[in-house]
Amino acid sequence: MRRLWRQREQALFITATALLTAGLALGAAGLDQAAALTWLAATLLGLAWSTATLVAAARRREGGVDIIAWLALAGSLWIGEPLAGAVIAVMLAGGALLEARAEARARHDLSLLAARAPRTARRDTGAGPVEVPVDAVTPGDRLVVGAGEVVPVDGRLLGPGVLDESALTGEPVPVERRAGEDVRSGTVNAGQPFRMTATSTAETSTYAGVVRLVEQARAQSAPFVRFADRVAVAFVPVALLLAGAAWALSGDPARAVAVLVVATPCPLLLAAPIAIISGISRMARNGVVVKGGAAMERLAAGKVLLFDKTGTLTAGRPVLTDVITPVGGPLPADEVLRLAAGLEQSSAHLLAGAIVAAARDRGLPPAAAEQVEERHGHGIEGIVDGHRVVLGKASSTVRGPLPPWMRHARRRAALDGSLTVFAAIDGEPAGVLLLEDPIRPQAPRMVRALRTAGISRVVLITGDHGDPAEAVGRVVGVDAVHAGCDPADKLRVVRAEQETAATIMVGDGINDAPALAAAGVGVALAARGATASSEAADVVLVVDRVDALADAILTARRCRRIAVLSVAVGMGLCVVAMLFAAAGMLPPVAGALVQEGIDVGAIAIAMTALIPGRRHTVRLRSADIDTLRGLYAEHQEMRPIVERVRVVADALDVPPYDLGPVRDLLDDLRDRVLAHERAEEAELLPIMARALGGVEATSGLSRTHAEIEHQVGRLDRTVRDLLLEADPEDVTDVRRLLYGLYAILRLHNDQEEEGAFSLMPPVVSTPSPHRFHSAATPAGHRTEERKESP
C-alpha cells in the first residue's frame, strides 16, 4: 500500500509539473488562453488529490490539515489565479513525494535489516548438503554455510570460521571464530565454507528477533511527533482566522488565498517524524534497535542509569584463570586441564565451554570421554583416557575433609569472588580450576562518557554477593551498589529511582525482564540471542559492546534536538510568511514558491539526523586496528609472565630459598616484557593520542611503562648481588620487589585493556592465559563452586 501511494504521488508530481511547465511555455508564446486552461487542469488535478487525501484522513478519524491546501486550491480558482493553483498543485505533490522519499531514506537501515532475513538453509546429510526452507531447521541439525552466505539460524561452529557481523553490529571488520563458539543468524560467512550445529529454530534465532524489533520500531511514533501532529491540527483554525481577517480588513480575497498558500504546516507534519526515524535508523546501523520514537525520546530524557552486573558490565562469559594443583601432586596442571576439558566436552554447563576453550587455547586437545554422567547442581564424571575424572563441588569430588591446599584455594576464591571447579582423578584430589567473569574493558569509559552526556546517577543492581559487586562498582565508577537482589528486589530499586528522575535500566537476562519493563527505558543486551529481556525492553543492543549504549543516548538526544530545531525554524518562517501575505506583500504565486522552500529547508534540517554526530566509541584507521591487534596478541602473551611474578614470590616463603627461578623470570622480564612495553610506548600510545584527542590521554600509561622498567632494574640489581641461596633478610627484599612489580603489572594491563585495547572492534575473546601452578599459590577472581554467577 505504501508503495502504491508513492507511485501515485510520483505520477501526480510529474503530471502537475508537466502541466505547469507547458502553461509557462504557452504563456511565453503569447497563447494566454491555452496557458490558463493548462494551469486550470493542473489546479483541478491538485484539488482532486487533496480531496482524496481529506476523505482518507476522515475515514481514519484523523485531523485533516490538508484542508488548508484544499482551500488554497479552491481559492485560487475563485479569484481567477490558475497559475497560483498550478504552483500549489506542484507544491502539494512535491511535498508528498519529498516526505515519502525522506522517510524511505530515514528507514533505509531498518528496512535492510528486515530484507536480509535468511530464507533457506543447507542441511548436511549423508548424500551431501540439501537446501531446505529455513523454517524446517531444528536444533541439532548440522548445516553447511558457504562463502558469502548468510548464517540461517543461531548455532555453534564445528570448525573455525570468519564472519562478517556488520549487519548486526555495524562493525565492518570480519571476526574470526573458533570451533565451539556460538554464531548468530544474520551474519555472513566472510571466509571458507564451514559447518555448524543449529541451536535454535529460525523463529527463535537472533535475526528473527531483530526483525520483530524492527517492525515494532516502524509501528510506533514519538510523543514529540504526536505533539507536532496535534499542533498542526490546531494550526488550521489559526490560519483560517488570519486569512479571514486579511480579507475583511483589505477587501482583497487574494490576500486570504496567499495566507492559505503559505500556511500549510508541513514542517510540523514532515520534519519531526523524519528526524526521529532518521535517529532510529542511524542507531540500527550501529547495532542498536530502538522500538519506536517514544522509546527514543525516553532514552534521550534519561537521567538515572541502572545496570545489572553479570553479562552487562561484565562479559558474561567465564574464563579460566588458574589451575591449582598440590605440590608434588600426581598430575601436572596441564594434564588436569586436558582431562577436565575432555569430560566437559559432553556438558552444556556454563563453565564447560570456558574450560574446553582454555585447553584448546593452550594446545591441549581434549580427549573423548566415556560413561559420562552429569548430576545437575553437583558435577559431572566419566572416563577420559582411562582415568576416572570427577568435576564439580568440593563435596561431590572429595571424600572426607578437604586437604589444606584445597582449603587455601577455596578461601582465596571466596575472597576474590571466583568461580571454582574441583577436580578429582582416580579418586584423588587433583586440582582446583578457577574462573572469572571479567569486567568489560569498555565499561568504565562508557560510564564516564554517559556522565558527560548528562546521566547524573549510575546504579549497579545484581544478584551477586556484596564483595564482588562492590569491586565491580568501584572499577566501573557507579554511585550505588545493590547486591543480592532477586527480580522483585530489582523491581523495587527501579521504582524507587523512577520517583526521583527518568530511568534507564540495562540488563541481559530473564531475571531482568520485570525491571526492564518498569524502567522509563529498558535496554537489553541481546548479542547472544533473543531472550525475555529483549521482549520486555524498549531498546536492544545486538552488538556485544555495552559502550554502544553511550552512542545510542548521544544519538537520541541529538535527534530530538534536530526535530525541535527543524520544526521551530520551519514554523517560524511559515508564520513570518503568513504575516507578509496578510499584509499584501506576498502574492499567491510567490507564496507557493516560498512555502515550498520552507518545506525543503525544514526537511533538510531533519535529515541531518542521518549524519554521524559526536560518538563515544572511536573509529580507527584500518592500519591502526591491525597494529592494535598485533600488540594485543603480544599483550596476552605477556600475561603468563606477569602471573609467574606472583608464583615465584610465593615460592620463596620457606627455606631453602632458591633464587634460580627469580633469575629465569628476570630474563623473561628483560627480554620480553620490557621489549613489549617499549613497543607499546612507540606504537600504541600514538594511536591512543590520535583517537582520544592528545598526549594527555596517554600520560598515565607512559608513566607506568617507566615505573615497570625502573622496578625490573631494581629487582635485577638486588638479585645480581646475592648468592645462589640467600638469607631470609635478602629474600624479604626480593619478595617485596616481586609483589610490588606484580601489582604494577596487573594494574597496568587492566589500564591498557580499558583505555587502549577497548578501542578495537570486537575480536574473539581469548581467556587470559595465566600461569598454572601448584598449590600454595593464591589465585583467581569471582563467585564459588560449580555454579553460575548470580
Residue 656: cis peptide before it, omega within 30 degrees of 0? yes
Q: CA torsion 511→517→522→526, rounded to 10°?
A: 50
**Where is 312: in which H helix or E strand?**
none
Q: Which of 616, 620, 526, 613 is nearest to 173 (CA)?
A: 620
- Contacts (Cβ under 8 Å, ≥6 apart) of 188: 148, 149, 150, 151, 163, 164, 165, 166, 167
- Return phi, psi of residue 435, to 5°: -130, 155
Strands 379-384 and 369-375: antiparallel
C-alpha cell at 351: 563453565
Q: Are 514 and 487 in contact (CB under 8 A)?
A: yes
| Residue keyed to cell 587492566 | 750
Which SS3 state, helix, strand or coil, does residue 150 take? strand
Residue reference for cell 548521544: 554
HEC states along 748-781?
HHHHHHHHCHHHCCCCCCCCCCCCCEECCCCCCC
Amino acid of residue 595: Q
Kindly state the helix (H) or strand (E) to which residue 177 belongs, with its residue range.
strand 175-177
User: Phi first, then psi: what are they for 200, rounded to 5°?
Assistant: -145, 160
The SS3 call for residue 122 is strand
The H or E element containing residue 173 is none
Q: Which helix (H) or strand (E) holds 454?
A: none
Rounded CA-CA distance 89/417 in Å is 72
Closest CA to 333 of 749, 19, 709, 774: 774
SS (H, E, C) 320-379: EEEEEECCCCCCCHHHHHHHHHHHHCCCCCHHHHHHHHHHHHCCCCCCCEEEEEEECCCE
Query: What is the distance, to the nearest Å, from the Cα of residue 464 to the centroid of all Cα atoms in its chain?
Result: 24
Enter the C-alpha cell of residue 624: 591502526
User: What are the Cα distances from residue 57, in Å, to 54, 271, 303?
Assistant: 5, 19, 38
377 contacts 389 by C-beta, under 8 angstroms: no
Q: Which residue has the cell 548436511?
A: 124
Instruction: For residues 441 and 305, give the distance between their C-alpha atoms in angstroms, rounded to a whole number.
Output: 19
Q: How many CA atoms lie within 13 A of 388 on its CB side?
A: 6
- What is the SS3 assignment for 164? strand
Helix residue spans in 182-264 (DSSP H): 206-219, 223-250, 253-262
- Residue 630's SS3 state is helix
Active site residue 308: yes
What 3-state class would DSSP assign to 499?
A: coil
In the sheet with 120-125, reading across from the earlier edge strand, the strands are: 128-133, 120-125, 142-145, 194-198, 155-157, 182-183
For the chain, how many residues are written? 790
Is there a contact between 522 and 552 (Cβ–Cβ < 8 Å)?
no
| Contact yes or no for 162/173 (Cβ under 8 A) | no
Pick the closest to residue 502 from 455, 535, 460, 540 (CA basis).
Answer: 455
Catalytic residue among 109, 141, 164, 308: 308
Q: Which residue has the cell 594491563?
A: 749
What are the beta bridge partners of residue 541? 288, 525
Identity of residue 163: L
- The residues annotated with a catalytic role in the active site are 308
